[in-house]
Structure 1
Amino acid sequence: MNNKILMLLVAACALVNTLNAQTEKTSQDTAKLPPKVLHAEPLYIDLIRDLGARKGEKEWNVGFGLTDKLNYDNYEFLVEYEWAPVNRLGLEVELPFTFYSTVSPASDLQQPANKLESLKVAAQWTFMVNEKAATSMAFGYINEFVLSDFGSFGRPLITANAFNPFLVVAKRWGHNFHTLIYTGPMVEYTYEHSQAHTSYDINTNIHYMIPNTRNFVGIEFNKTIYNNDFQMVMRPQMRVSIAHDLMVGIVAGIPISKESERLSSFIRLIWEPKGRKSPKH
């Protein structure tokens, strides 16, 4: 009987030591992680990866959108994959598709052709993370290889190249309010006419994140300046977690000028495969 009790005590001590070792290892791993501030990420013009991205993070996005273009409807569909190969560096590959449906057949306006818009590749480097000020800053670059429409696909394959460097500055105010500025020029060079067209985007965002969750409500102000013309679309939005690794974002689009489009809508499904998750506050 005494031997059995002694064996049980030895087994219990071994189990406790194992648990303590695992807890210590987890604490050490956590301590090794670089600092990261939680920021609400806009849903329509989203980031390449979380600011302060940590090695091993990854995410799949699928988006569906509908825009009323007065004489035809514009349907958009996108698939993107983003990941962090090293700390603070985010990479992304995206395939955006656009399809059209005529609303007014009698219109003289020519409906664009359905197409895979481009092959989009991007990188984003978070060069500052200040936990005390709850502020992060990042530089990024997007390169789009603009493709021909389905009717003439491959003749040629690439019709233009778009260059888009950008700057991101984000700050959290207290625990729940988040602001973010995403801005930079877009230069598109078309091969057929050997011409470059430049526009400038200024996207400002404000969000309120529900305490102890990753759910939020907020609004994007997507502003574009092109040839002295100013356009802005307001995009109220919300993000809701439907599983520990799956979220859905719902966006409405309200243009301040209805010369080229009316209301729009957009839905983004966000899946984070097993790996490091963004921190909660």
Structure 2
Amino acid sequence: MNINKILMLIVVLVSSPYAFAQISDVAKDSLYIQQVENDKEPDKVLHAEPLYIDLIRDLGARKGEREWNLGLGLTDNTEFDSYEALIEYEWAPADRLGLEVELPFTFYSPINGADINYIPSNQLNSIKIAAQWSFFVSEPMATSMAIGYINEFELSSFRDFGKPFIKGNVYNPFFVVAKRWGRNFHSLIYTGPMIGQDLSTNEFHTTYDINTSFHYMITGTRNFIGVEFNKTFDKKDFDMTMRPQMRLGIADDLMVGIIAGIPISRENERLSSFIRLIWEPKHKH
């Protein structure tokens, strides 16, 4: 065997594991998309779901799907830190219909010697109930659309708990459209008004949210990296927070989402962070 053949054999032996790994990853990626989309009914498109403003249920949800979320976050404000905590349960009682119940908490801690009496009181913010219906799902176009509604019963803080128990109501219809570009790139728009009602004065206040997100799903995995742009219009005021994020699969039914918050145009909010633990129990198709 001459030296050229020996060198060629070495190159083949060294490069083969990498080549096989690439082929394996592409195969895994294609098989995962096929498992989600083609092996079951009704039609469903694999989309990367944003981690901070998350959906009520997967677009094109199938009956029996369910998911538990536990979230923990920290926001640095000018005079106090706020700690977020939430627990939510979402499920699909019928094909393409998702329901959700969420309990969000906020706890506050003064900084820079701020007077504790001048910071907000700890509270169970609200009781949220929501529904989402995917009215358009196209596997050939890799596109899904949905409409939904969130009703948020705002509660009094722990300092004034029960005086009254429910102090306000927020009505939040929304629209979602998502598109996957090829196997790896994902985009999504989530938008709608938030109409707040103060039950003591019966006054209404309306803001409008436009949340856009872009993600890249790592080949051969369920992991992704991406960014959300959370934008709120309030009459002449405009706020936007950019949220770089990543999702990591810990087990077949367990994932963790890690989010950073970078305010672009907020007067009183600094950097923030948020972690979401996602558990998807197995379900029968």
Q: TM over 0.5: same fold?
A: yes
3-state SS of the aligned residue for 1:263? strand
3-state SS of the aligned residue for 1:250? strand
Residue 151 (structure 2) aligned to one of 143, 148, 161: 143
- Report the equivalent of 1:104: 112
- Note if contact 1:40-1:207 (Cα within 8 Å) is conserved in structure 2: yes
The amino acid that maps onto 1:71 is E
- Note if contact 1:71-1:109 (Cα within 8 Å) is conserved in structure 2: no
For 1:140 and 1:242, the matched residues in 2 are separated by 30
- Report the equivalent of 1:235: 243
Residue 155 (structure 1) aligned to one of 163, 167, 180: 163
Residue 175 (structure 1) aligned to one of 176, 183, 186: 183
- Report the equivalent of 2:95: 87
For 2:217 and 2:284, the matched residues in 1 are separated by 20
Residue 76 (structure 2) aligned to one of 58, 68, 74: 68
The amino acid that maps onto 2:154 is V
User: Given the two structures, how large is their TM-score scaled by the length of structure 1?
Assistant: 0.86
Give the CA deviation at 1:275: 1.3
Give the CA deviation at 1:260: 1.0
| Consecutive unaligned residues in structure 2, runs of 5 or more | 1-37
- Report the equivalent of 2:202: 194
Q: How many residues align?
A: 249
The amino acid that maps onto 1:79 is I
- Note if contact 2:123-2:158 (Cα within 8 Å) is conserved in structure 1: yes
- Note if contact 2:240-2:266 (Cα within 8 Å) is conserved in structure 1: no
How do 1:125-140 and structure 2 match up within 5 A? Answer: 125-140=133-148
User: Given the two structures, how large is their TM-score scaled by the length of structure 2?
Assistant: 0.84
The amino acid that maps onto 2:283 is G
Deviates most, 146-155 or 30-39: 30-39
Give the fraction of aligned pairs with identical amino acids, expressed as a percent.
67
Give the CA deviation at 1:62: 0.1
The amino acid that maps onto 1:100 is Y
The amino acid that maps onto 2:119 is Q
Give the CA deviation at 1:136: 0.1
The amino acid that maps onto 1:199 is T
Give the CA deviation at 1:108: 10
- Report the equivalent of 2:31: none
For 2:70 and 2:114, the matched residues in 1 are separated by 34
Runs of 4+ aligned structure 1 residues displaced above 2 Å come to: 104-110
- Report the equivalent of 2:215: 207
